[in-house]
Structure 1
Amino acid sequence: MADSPTRTASDTSVVTPPVGAAIHPRPAIAWAAFAACLIAVFMQMVDTTIVNIALPDLARDLAATSSDQLLVLTVYTLAFACTLMAGSRLGERVGRHRMFVGALAAFTIASVLCGTATGPTELIVLRGVQGVSAACASAQTIAVIATMFPRARHPLVFGVYGATAGIAAICGPVVGGALISADVAGLGWRVVFLVNMPFGVIACLVAWRCLPVMRAVRDVPLDLRGAVLSSSGLFALIYPLAVGREKGWPAWTWVLMGAAVILVATFLVHERSLLDRGGQPLLRVDLFRSRAFAVGCVLSIAFFGVFGAFFFAMSVTAQFGLGYSALRTGLITLPFALGAAAGSVGSSLIVPRLGARTLALGMAVFAVAVAWTAALLDPSSAALDLPPLIPALVLGGVGVGLFVAPLQATIVSGTTEQTVGSASGMVPTVQQIGASVGLAVVGVFFFAQVAGAAPSAATQSGERLTASLRTTPVPTEVAPFVVGSFTDCARRQLSSTRPEVAPPGCSTRDAGTGPRARVLATAGPALRDAADHAAARAFLAAFTTTLWTIAATALVLAAACLALRRTPAEPVSPAGPRPRAA
């Protein structure tokens, strides 16, 4: 018979049951397959944040502009988000086992090619390929896990899965900083991509052997119209948000964002119409009848946006504002990562008592920790004193762990075996949408705050420069002109769309060889100190404002979590809510 097993009886993981049926292989095989899924999700989520640390070295090596650097960051999450729902449907059509292994292999190859890129355009394209491959693998993971383990095990396995994804994103800066500082084999920033190769090969081999072979459904329609509408809508929304500030918000960015609203609305109408006609839409809008799924998706989008904003602002402040090395920047996030690990483990003890309300507790703890961090910062000091921040960072990580670990199980708690496939594509989609939008929005907000703090920072640093010049051979009558020129240049640079680049006429290379050059050479150390002070003040001021905004947003999310039922929701059947027994 066509549906009978085709391998030896000793391999119980390769049976091909009817579509939608649960598969419960031997525990050892199930946990080995689960480990392969965790390795895959760890690599995929680490790559959303690890590149932040590599940007300064990458930009110097590849001569990447500010716009290029931003695209290197956003094209991955953009491609990830635009491909996930279509990837889930493709997995049903060609088989989730085959799709997962093939996509994971493609992700590994793309990572190696990213590590050997010779130019920014090449790297941007390969990052897009990496994102598409990650999406096609990730879209299968939740459905595969759901079918391998009985529903009673779902809180545990989805808790571990969610914790792994969250911790991986948190550990990205730490791992990236350590790898770049170690300069393995002289590879520099390239090692953050090449490190995926051994782990990807191991995960592919284990997955090929142990993942259950779920029967492919060749006649499943792909809903190409839905795929085009959803991908186009997400691209039209996220791309202008990512590059608009750099390009000065030309008219086409606003046109694209307006088109995004129309495309997304058309997509939802098409999906609803296709479902009503008895078709198989890319997104089952009936999933939103489940309060857990609907509220969970909204919370997931908002949280991953806030989460991405937090780490982006911290990384940019440390590297571009304070001049920290990759390793030092990564180590700032280490207390946060340790707290997240503790929170994820602790959530297994709290969820049985609080249920889905654990998410509200986690967000409240995170909000308090972020506000505590903001209260400890002093932009006027132009420095970041890390030891007093460690308790707040650990507490913030605990809050994130409490929120992320039960999030996956909460969202899919209202799905059925018939709808889990669509849900498996939707859950990581909303996470990546949140991360992409959050990164783009915080980029606009954060650098607007830097520009707002620029006049004050330039003035204060000018006063510092005046005091410093008294100890140099610079003539007293010339010092006011040096200070005035510095103050104007610092204000213009920090207020520009590219605060890392000196404005025309402000670089020491523009001084020539005359008297001005000699004065600048004499005042060089004092000028560099004042410039570092101005950047640190402006970036720390922007970081503080951003943290207060994130804390307020997290409190709103904590309140929104209370809309979730205390206990998991009843699964929603395709025909509607399941009637309760009398």
Structure 2
Amino acid sequence: MTFTQDLSPTSSPSAADPKSSAEGAVSGADRRRWLALAIVMTAAFMDLVDVTIVNIAIPSIERDLAASFGAIQWITAGYALAFAAGLITGGRLGDIYGRKRVFLLGMTGFTLASALCGFAASPEMLVGSRLLQGAMAALMVPQVLAIIHVTFPAHERGKVFGMFGAIVGLGAVSGPLLGALLTQWNLFGLEWRPIFLINLPVGIAGLILGRRFITESRADKALRLDLVGVALATLALLMLLYPLTRGRETGWPLWGHVCMVGSLAVFAAFVAYEKYKARKDGSPLVELSLFRVKSFAAGIAVQLTFGVVLGIFFLVWTLYMQVGLGWSPLKAGLTGVPFSIAVSVAAGMSVQKLVPRFGRKVLQAGALTMATGLLLYIWEAGQYGTGITPWQMTAPLVIMGAGMGLIVAPLTDAVLSGVPREHAGSASGLINTTGQMGNALGLGLVSVVFFGTVDEAAPVPAQLGAVFVDAFQNALWWVVAVLALIFVVMSALPAKPKQEAGAH
């Protein structure tokens, strides 16, 4: 690992006062790495919020730019597609050229793309800016976990990933709430534009502080970018995710099914080429040997299926509240606050206090807890119908949030715990990519498990609320089933975290 000398806790103390100099070096390095953590966490939060913040502002964007339905789809889906397609490549670029350098490059591009989104004069300009924003996020986001992995010693990573889990929970529900507030306030008469422009001061501050406090690191061994691997991985991901993202709106055409089946062949070609590339020069895009690490392989499987859960739940939950119950975006956003708090609290406790003692049982308890919250939500939705109130939703949301918090933080830690430092970027890109793939699969399933019920009922406007309640309950039963599968897959995770020994 290459660290700049002034940040290293092992820098040589001066001869005059070895003890105080050594303590000063450790103190300085400690302060710097925690500041670096705050910077990369802020970047992760920006990305999480940007995935969901746009949905709330769609009516305002549609009016202001006279955007067609197709353009609106691309404004929302374009970011996700560009982000998912570039994550593996973005992670590997950090390993090769330096994680700090690629992170700052991604943050610069993300901030500029946010400005272009905020000042977009046409639907086409907004779509293009969102694609650029997603591509830049794909450079920035994989470096977050990689920088954490190489900057913090094993015994500190539990605490750090607990914080990361809290940020994930906060970001999951903050997007709609923040989008609702910014749109409703109509700052300076800009309507929807502040949802993008808010990234500018945050991004500029992150760049200034990141240059100073983030430690540079890259793979010990000289690696080259695998361009064929990049092309195959990107093509395979687009062939899978594009039809899933656009499937329902386009009536699930034949070409979509052909693309999804064909993506399996491209993925197979990608794996075969990566094996060849590893033998040829030891510089593949994806280090397939990572999958021989049991904690990584099992964790990736859990990440994929958990992404399905999140993809289904958050979309149907938003539709249920805003369309089925007729709630305003602000009311719906505020309803999610207890969920966010529960995720944050549980994430902090899970890694620091529970996982070192109980290991993977904590994650399994999280899956069971989340399923319990969903069952309570299903019962309440049926019991109270369209007359349900936000405070009646508090109990199931808190239970679900606690369950999610017990999963998200320890899972990231478990997946990365056995990964060699030189492959941290590649592994981080894979974690994020599988999560995005799961999310896209979940969004695709919504058309079956939620809209299938709605379309079958063919409701008149007066019955729409009751039909959406039924569809919401049906979708949640599917989420419970996926969580049962996750509980089983979690059995393959290590019984206890590898870094536990390093903590004592």
TM-score between the two structures when normalised by the length of structure 1? 0.78
In the alignment, is residue 556 of structure 1 matched against residue 482 of structure 2?
no
1:245 alignment partner, SS class: coil
User: For residues 15 and 172 of structure 1, what CA distance do their matches in structure 2 show?
Assistant: 41
Deviation at 1:377, TM superposition (A): 0.8
Aligned counterpart, 1:310: 313
Q: How does 1:271-290 map to 2 (within 5 A)?
A: 271-290=274-293
Alignment deviations for residues 348-379 of structure 1 (CA, whole Å, 9 cap, x no partner) = 22112211221111111111101110111139
Deviation at 1:110, TM superposition (A): 0.9
Residues 293 and 414 in structure 1, CA contact (< 8 A), matched pair in contact too: yes
Aligned counterpart, 2:393: 389
| Greater alpha carbon shift after TM alignment, 26-35 vs 412-421 | 412-421
The amino acid across from 2:407 in the alignment is F
User: For residues 214 and 380 of structure 1, what CA distance do their matches in structure 2 show?
Assistant: 55
Deviation at 1:235, TM superposition (A): 0.4
In the alignment, is residue 534 of structure 1 matched against residue 457 of structure 2?
no
Deviation at 1:75, TM superposition (A): 1.9
User: For residues 123 and 329 of structure 1, what CA distance do their matches in structure 2 show?
Assistant: 26
Aligned counterpart, 1:12: 7
Aligned counterpart, 1:442: 446
Deviation at 1:144, TM superposition (A): 1.7
In the alignment, is residue 547 of structure 1 matched against residue 476 of structure 2?
yes
Residues 3 and 215 in structure 2, CA contact (< 8 A), matched pair in contact too: no
Residues 58 and 64 in structure 1, CA contact (< 8 A), matched pair in contact too: yes
Aligned counterpart, 1:92: 95
In the alignment, is residue 418 of structure 1 matched against residue 422 of structure 2?
yes
- Flag the 1:33–1:14 CA change in 2: closer, same or farther, 3 A: farther
Deviation at 1:123, TM superposition (A): 1.9
Residues 173 and 333 in structure 1, CA contact (< 8 A), matched pair in contact too: no
Aligned counterpart, 1:365: 369
In the alignment, is residue 131 of structure 1 matched against residue 60 of structure 2?
no
- Flag the 1:567–1:144 CA change in 2: closer, same or farther, 3 A: same
Select which of 241, 245, 248 maps to 2:248.
Answer: 245
The amino acid across from 1:429 in the alignment is T
Aligned counterpart, 2:407: 403
Aligned counterpart, 1:188: 191
Aligned counterpart, 1:160: 163
User: For residues 171 and 57 of structure 1, what CA distance do their matches in structure 2 show?
Assistant: 19
Aligned counterpart, 1:567: 496
Aligned counterpart, 2:15: none
User: For residues 271 and 477 of structure 2, what CA distance do their matches in structure 1 show?
Assistant: 35
Q: How does 1:253-268 map to 2 (within 5 A)?
A: 253-268=256-271
Alignment deviations for residues 486-535 of structure 1 (CA, whole Å, 9 cap, x no partner) = xxxx3xxxxxxxxxxxxxxxxxxxxxxxxxxxxxxxxxxxxxxxx2x322
Deviation at 1:276, TM superposition (A): 3.2
Alignment deviations for residues 558-582 of structure 1 (CA, whole Å, 9 cap, x no partner) = 23212212212489xxxxxxxxxxx
User: For residues 33 and 389 of structure 1, what CA distance do their matches in structure 2 show?
Assistant: 37
User: For residues 175 and 51 of structure 2, what CA distance do their matches in structure 1 show?
Assistant: 8
Alignment deviations for residues 280-304 of structure 1 (CA, whole Å, 9 cap, x no partner) = 1111111111121111111111112
Alignment deviations for residues 36-84 of structure 1 (CA, whole Å, 9 cap, x no partner) = 0111011011112222222232233333344433332222222111111
Structure with the higher helix share, 1 or 2: 2
Deviation at 1:14, TM superposition (A): 12
1:546 alignment partner, SS class: helix
1:283 alignment partner, SS class: coil
Aligned counterpart, 1:19: none
**Structure 2 residue ranges without an equivalent (≥5):** 12-24
Deviation at 1:120, TM superposition (A): 2.8
- Flag the 1:444–1:64 CA change in 2: closer, same or farther, 3 A: farther
Identity of aligned residues (%): 35
User: For residues 549 and 214 of structure 1, what CA distance do their matches in structure 2 show?
Assistant: 42
The amino acid across from 1:125 in the alignment is G
Deviation at 1:399, TM superposition (A): 0.7
Number of aligned positions between the proteins: 484
The amino acid across from 2:464 in the alignment is A
Residues 162 and 349 in structure 2, CA contact (< 8 A), matched pair in contact too: no
Aligned counterpart, 2:21: none
User: For residues 221 and 108 of structure 2, what CA distance do their matches in structure 1 show?
Assistant: 23
| Greater alpha carbon shift after TM alignment, 362-371 vs 339-348 | 339-348
Aligned counterpart, 1:81: 84
User: For residues 57 and 262 of structure 1, what CA distance do their matches in structure 2 show?
Assistant: 41
Deviation at 1:122, TM superposition (A): 2.3
User: For residues 86 and 121 of structure 1, what CA distance do their matches in structure 2 show?
Assistant: 26
User: For residues 50 and 71 of structure 1, what CA distance do their matches in structure 2 show?
Assistant: 15
1:49 alignment partner, SS class: helix
Aligned counterpart, 1:342: 345
User: For residues 375 and 259 of structure 1, what CA distance do their matches in structure 2 show?
Assistant: 41
| Greater alpha carbon shift after TM alignment, 177-186 vs 81-90 | 177-186
- Flag the 1:15–1:342 CA change in 2: closer, same or farther, 3 A: closer
User: For residues 202 and 9 of structure 2, what CA distance do their matches in structure 1 show?
Assistant: 23
Deviation at 1:263, TM superposition (A): 0.8
The amino acid across from 1:12 in the alignment is L
- Flag the 1:12–1:387 CA change in 2: closer, same or farther, 3 A: closer
Select which of 195, 205, 210 maps to 1:207.
Answer: 210
Deviation at 1:132, TM superposition (A): 0.9
Residues 317 and 540 in structure 1, CA contact (< 8 A), matched pair in contact too: yes
**Structure 1 residue ranges without an equivalent (≥5):** 17-22, 459-489, 491-530, 572-582
User: For residues 256 and 12 of structure 1, what CA distance do their matches in structure 2 show?
Assistant: 49
2:67 alignment partner, SS class: coil
The amino acid across from 1:369 in the alignment is G
User: For residues 324 and 60 of structure 1, what CA distance do their matches in structure 2 show?
Assistant: 20
- Flag the 1:62–1:256 CA change in 2: closer, same or farther, 3 A: same
Residues 52 and 312 in structure 1, CA contact (< 8 A), matched pair in contact too: no
| Greater alpha carbon shift after TM alignment, 221-230 vs 373-382 | 373-382
Deviation at 1:215, TM superposition (A): 5.8
User: For residues 42 and 13 of structure 1, what CA distance do their matches in structure 2 show?
Assistant: 27
Residues 322 and 535 in structure 1, CA contact (< 8 A), matched pair in contact too: no
User: For residues 355 and 73 of structure 1, what CA distance do their matches in structure 2 show?
Assistant: 38
The amino acid across from 1:26 in the alignment is A
- Flag the 1:217–1:115 CA change in 2: closer, same or farther, 3 A: farther
Residues 85 and 425 in structure 1, CA contact (< 8 A), matched pair in contact too: yes
Deviation at 1:89, TM superposition (A): 2.1
Aligned counterpart, 2:17: none
Aligned counterpart, 1:524: none
User: For residues 334 and 146 of structure 1, what CA distance do their matches in structure 2 show?
Assistant: 30
Residues 233 and 270 in structure 2, CA contact (< 8 A), matched pair in contact too: yes
